[in-house]
Amino acid sequence: MAGEPQADCLFCKIVAGKVPATLVKETETTVAFRDINPQAPTHVLVIPRVHYADAAALAAAEPVITADLLRVAGEIAAEEKIDDHGYRIVFNTGVGAGQTVFHTHAHLLGGRGLQWPPG
């Protein structure tokens, strides 16, 4: 069924507590944890507890949870004190854009200068 946990999904395993992660925040609908290979001083992944392959699929099926995800990312940006200088929320979508885990995740990046346009 749509949104159900997938046995072969790394981030479903993190949601279930079967794979350890450095948790930053948990809500009823989301889990946030530090990226294992950080690309900035603050690099947090914010994911929905439900499984959808990417941000657009999540938004189509679960608009309220999508809003939760963005709100939580903003809350963490404030808690990590990266909101003054500025931060970036990224959803890599598709292999060509660098997506490697096909469970929706927002990258929250900050704490250093962020170039525009991104690579």
Residue 49 interacts, among Zn ion, ligand 5GP, none and using kind-specific CB cut-offs from 5 to 8 Å, with: none
Tell me the window of 29-37, 66-74, 97-105, 109-117 that interacts with Zn ion (CB under 5 A).
97-105
103, 105, 107, 110: which one binds Zn ion (CB under 5 A): 103
Please report, as residue ranges, which positions from 75 to 104 form the binding site for ligand 5GP (by CB under 6 A): 92, 98-101
- Three-class DSSP category at 54: coil
How far apart CA 118 and CA 76 sit, in angstroms, is: 22
With contact defined as beta carbons under 8 Å apart, do 15 and 23 qualify?
A: no
